[in-house]
Structure 1
C-alpha cells in the first residue's frame, strides 16, 4: 500500500494498516490533491499580498469556529510571527466568521468592505479559498476520526435541519434571483470581476482550457489564484469521478444535502439534478429540495437515503454533529470503508464549494 503521510494522516492519527488508510490509498488521487491544495495555500511559491502570518492566524480561528481544537493547534504551532492588527485583518476575520456560521449571509457589500480594508481582488479570491478549504479540512478530519473510532466532539443526536437561504428577489446587478431551491439550470454572476481569458498568463490560460473552464465567469474568477484552483479541481474530480466505492448518485446527493445545510441554491441545483438523473429518483430529490428552513432534510425519504442524508447533514453543520450511531446505521446498510470514505469526502468537499459560491457571487434564473 502507498504510504500517505500527508498532514491529514498525522492530524487524524490514521494507523498505517487500518481500513481507513487502505481506503485513502485507494483514493490516492484525492489524498494527493487535498495535500497539494493545503501546500498551495500555506506554502505557496508566491504569497502575493496575503502573507503567511495572516493565513495561519485565519486558519487557526476558522478551525476553532468549526470545533477542531487539534487543527487549530496545528496552525498555531506553525505561526512564527503575528500579523499586524488593524482594519485589514479585522475585515478578513469578520468575513471568515460569517462564512463559518452563516455562509448564505454573505453579500456583495462584504467584498467591497474587504477591498476598502486593503485587500486586492486576487487576494480576496485566495482568502475565500483559504476560508473554504479549512471548512473542508475540518470536516475531513472529523469524518476520518469518526471512521477510525476515535472520539469526536458532538452536541447531540438531533437531526441537523435545513438552513435559511437568500430570499432577495434580484441579484446585485438586477437579474431575477431564484426564490427557492430548484433542480433547474441556473446562471451565476460574480460580485468581483472575473478576468477575461486574454488577461491571463500562459499557464493560467492553459489551466482554464485544460479543464474546460475558459468560458466560465466562476472559474475565471477563481483562476486569479490558478495554483490553488488547479489542485482544487483535481481534488474535486478525484472525489466525485472515481470507480467503485459509493455510487455516483449518492455522492451527488451528499453534495445537494450539504448545499441545503449551507443555503447554496446554485450548488444544490447542479448536484440535485445529477442525483436525480443518475438515480432515477427525481421525486425524492425534489422532496429534499422542498424542505423549508428548519425542516428535517431526510423527512419522507427511503431508508437508504434517509440514513445518508442525516449523516451528510450532520457532517455539514458548524461545528460538525455526525456521530457514531449514524455511522453504525450506514454500516448496517452495507456500506464499507471505501463507500464511507467517499461519503465523508463528497460531503466535506461542499463545505468548500458552497462557501466559494456563496461568498463570491450569486445565482440568477432569468
Structure 2
C-alpha cells in the first residue's frame, strides 16, 4: 500500500508503493490541507479581477473534482476504484508535477484512509496503478498495449480504466491551472531540486503515415444505452475534440456531462484562437499525442512552416520563432507549463504581456494549454495511432 516516507522537506507528500501497513504515527505534515473549501484551486487566494472571467468553468471543474474524489464511495463489481485508489493516484500525479499545494492536499486526504489488504493481488494491483499513473503523467508515450492489458488483468473494468485516466488528466490540468494563477499573481516559485523536467516525445512519432488513432478498449454500444445516457453520448460526440472518445467516456457516465461542459467552456475565444492552436500543437508535440497534433494541424490556417517546425522539434521551432516574437512568447510559456508546472512563474508569463496579451488573455492561453495536456493523455491512455 502507499506509505509515507519520513524525509526532511517533503515527508508531507512523498509516497511510495509498499506492502506493509501505514504506521499509526505517520500523519500529513499539513493536515488542514484536506479541508479546503475550494476543491479545485485549493483555497488559492486569487484576486477577484483575475478570477471573474473564469467563474463558470471553475464551477464545472469543482463539480468534476467532487465526482472524481467523493467523500463517500462504495465500490462495486463494475466500479472497483476505491477512495484510496483514487487519492493515491492523485497524489502520484501531484508528486510528478511537484506543485506543492496539490501535494499537500492529496496527501492530507489520503493519510487517514484505510489502505488495501496486504495480499499479493492487492499489492500488485496498487503497484500497477501507481506505475501507470506516474508514467502517463511524466512520460505519456511509455503507455502501450501491454500496460493497458495489465490494468485489465489486475481487475480494472473498462469503466475503472476510463475514470482512472480521467483522474490522471484532471490532476495534471489542476496543477497547471494553479501554477498559472500563481504566476499571474507573482507568487514566488518554490520547487524541489532533483525533479526532472518532462522530455519531449521522440520526433519519429510525428512522421508516421498513416496515423489513425484507434482505441485499445471496447467502446460502448450507444444504441443499447438508456435514453439519458444516449443523450450524454450524443453531446460528447458533437464536440470535435471528444468525438473519437465518446464511446469510452460514456463508461464513466457521471463525469461525462460536466467534462463535455468543461470542454465547451474552455474553447478559445476568437481573440486568442490562432495562438491557442499553436498552444495545442506544442502541447501535443511535447506529450507525444500524434492524434491531437494531426487534428490541430489539419485545421491550422496560419504559416505552414510553423506546423513543420513544431513537428521537427525544439531546434526547428526556435529557428522559426526567431522573427516571430509574439508566437515565441506563446511557445516558450506553453513549453514551460507543459514540461515543468512546478517551475512556472511570473518570469514565464511576463513575455506574453510584453507582446501585447492582456493578463486575462495570457491566463486563458495557459489554461487551454493545461486542458490540451489532459486531452493528450486521454488519447494516449485509451489508445494510439496505428
Q: Normalized against structure 2, the TM-score is what?
A: 0.79
Q: Please state if 1:257 is matched with 2:282.
A: yes
Q: Please state if 1:20 is matched with 2:50.
A: yes
Q: Please state if 1:56 is matched with 2:56.
A: no
Q: Please state if 1:74 is matched with 2:105.
A: yes
Gap change, CA 1:351 and 1:257, over 3 Å in 2: same
Q: 1:118 is paired with a residue of what secondary structure? A: coil
Aligned length: 333
Aligned match of 1:233 in 244, 254, 260? 260
Gap change, CA 1:38 and 1:185, over 3 Å in 2: farther
What is the aligned partner in structure 1 of residue 188 from structure 2?
151
Q: Deviations over 1:97-142 (max 9, x none)?
A: 1112110111011111111111111101110111111111111111
What is the aligned partner in structure 2 of residue 210 from structure 1?
235
Contact 1:213–1:219 at 8 Å: present in 2 too?
Answer: no
Query: Cα RMSD (Å) of the superposition?
Result: 2.7
Gap change, CA 1:60 and 1:39, over 3 Å in 2: same
Q: 2:214 is paired with a residue of what secondary structure? A: strand
Aligned match of 1:333 in 341, 355, 368? 355
Greater relative contact order structure (CA < 8 Å, 6+ sep): 1
Aligned match of 2:248 in 218, 221, 224? 221
What is the aligned partner in structure 1 of residue 223 from structure 2?
198
What is the aligned partner in structure 1 of residue 30 from structure 2?
none
For residues 161 and 268 of structure 1, the distance between their equivalents in structure 2, rounded to whole angstroms, comes to 18
In the TM superposition, what is the alpha-carbon distance from 1:317 to its structure 2 partner? 0.5
Q: Deviations over 1:35-73 (max 9, x none)?
A: 122122112887521111211121112101111222111
Q: 1:76 is paired with a residue of what secondary structure? A: helix
For residues 166 and 179 of structure 2, the distance between their equivalents in structure 1, rounded to whole angstroms, comes to 20
Moved more, 98-107 or 214-223: 214-223
Q: Normalized against structure 1, the TM-score is what?
A: 0.83
Aligned match of 1:281 in 303, 310, 332? 303
For residues 83 and 154 of structure 2, the distance between their equivalents in structure 1, rounded to whole angstroms, comes to 18
Contact 2:279–2:365 at 8 Å: present in 1 too?
Answer: yes
Q: Structure 2: where are the runs of 5+ without partners?
A: 1-36
In the TM superposition, what is the alpha-carbon distance from 1:296 to its structure 2 partner? 6.4
What is the aligned partner in structure 2 of residue 175 from structure 1?
none
What is the aligned partner in structure 1 of residue 115 from structure 2?
83
In the TM superposition, what is the alpha-carbon distance from 1:166 to its structure 2 partner? 8.3
